[in-house]
Structure 1
């Protein structure tokens, strides 16, 4: 039998604070820089292909994204891209790493309320230094019982984290904006997956929502998370 919920994990980017909007703005700037060479739609397709190809080497986050932009710029220009454009791409990546942390509505209250009744974990992937920076600037760090910055999110990762910091995955809940990374692998690990969608999702995070699964839940935002958690078996 599944255990009663004791531990709640929160995703960070686009669940607790804005993140993808900065990638979207940078991609628009990137398209402007390469507009003499290709249309935006084609450029974005090539960029996504590069990101997907490079995940195993660069991982998730701004640094890998920046390297993929440079690779794409070289590709679409047949290596004719100027040093000035490469410099602009590097500067755009640095700006992303300095962006302020802007909490999503209800994020602080949702984490604080959950902390009153459960062990609270932050489980996020991306650049280690950047994620640590954002957590420190968010003001939420002291609310978490543990923080895990991982290279990827999958079933074995969730089982390991909830075994170490909770009782087990089947007594855990993962709250996040990504069906692919936050919901599906947590459900496969035996826990609950709570989907709180962000208005835009990175293409590589798209996945079919498991609406019929008895351990799937969905909320429009974090305002009613405490009520949802209290009603879980």
Structure 2
């Protein structure tokens, strides 16, 4: 089924792993965490337990590096039976600080796409995570001026998007979301009858993965590079 974008007035962009690299740093951090705690458990067990702790904490801490760091600390305490040293806790905190201080590395074609589309559409940034961290990354990215509106959501579900569209005073049919996550950037939009374009990133957090059953019958476009958006609009 061919997607029709002629009524689009506003285009929303996800930030992490759509505009700039992010998930890669989490994978690197998990490896460092595993090395620090390798004397207590196998790397596979440490990875599994850290993920469980992240999911358990989502409703309390939300998304982002700070939440991830707190989950690493809690997991380290539990997996070491509260025997982990103060120096190891400090090292874990430093993993989080290193992540927060990472340079913003834009993905291929990002500025070209935003510059071109901003001449015809109202662009917004719709991301989730820690507000301060996302604001910091956006500032470092040099992309702020392309966006009419910045929205850091607590989550990306149908209700969150519906509230956003009400705030923007547009119909779902007039909105297009572009992002790397089927779970967060595509399926919720399709479910409220808005448009979505999927731009996969080479690594995806397990929590963001969806099954083929969940995507069956859902109408959205998948492209290999953000630059391909210009061929569609």
Same fold (TM over 0.5): yes
1:66-215 matches, within 5 Å, as 66-208=69-211, 210=215, 212-214=217-219
Q: Partners of 2:169 and 2:175 in 1: how far apart?
A: 7
Determine whether 1:227 maps to 2:228. no
Q: CA RMSD in A?
A: 1.4
- Maintained 8 Å contact 2:187/2:218: no
Q: Partners of 2:173 and 2:49 in 1: how far apart?
A: 40
- Maintained 8 Å contact 1:3/1:170: no
Structure 1 runs (4+) deviating above 3 angstroms are none
1:218 corresponding residue in structure 2: 222
2:37 corresponding residue in structure 1: 34
- Maintained 8 Å contact 2:13/2:126: yes
> Following TM superposition, by how much is the alpha carbon of 1:166 offset from its aligned partner in structure 2, in angstroms?
5.0
Indicate the SS of the match to 1:159: helix
Q: Partners of 2:148 and 2:170 in 1: how far apart?
A: 14
Q: Partners of 2:53 and 2:6 in 1: how far apart?
A: 42
Structure 2 gap ranges (5+):
none
Equivalent residue pairs, number: 227
- Maintained 8 Å contact 2:8/2:174: yes
- Maintained 8 Å contact 1:156/1:189: no
Q: Partners of 1:28 and 1:72 in 2: how far apart?
A: 14
Q: Partners of 2:98 and 2:86 in 1: how far apart?
A: 18
Indicate the SS of the match to 1:103: coil
- Maintained 8 Å contact 1:73/1:81: yes
Q: Partners of 1:120 and 1:40 in 2: how far apart?
A: 42
- Maintained 8 Å contact 1:9/1:120: yes
Q: Partners of 2:216 and 2:109 in 1: how far apart?
A: 24
> Following TM superposition, by how much is the alpha carbon of 1:212 offset from its aligned partner in structure 2, in angstroms?
3.6
> Following TM superposition, by how much is the alpha carbon of 1:162 offset from its aligned partner in structure 2, in angstroms?
2.0
After superposition, the Cα gap between the structure-2 partners of 1:166 and 1:111, relative to the gap in structure 1 and judged at 3 Å, is farther
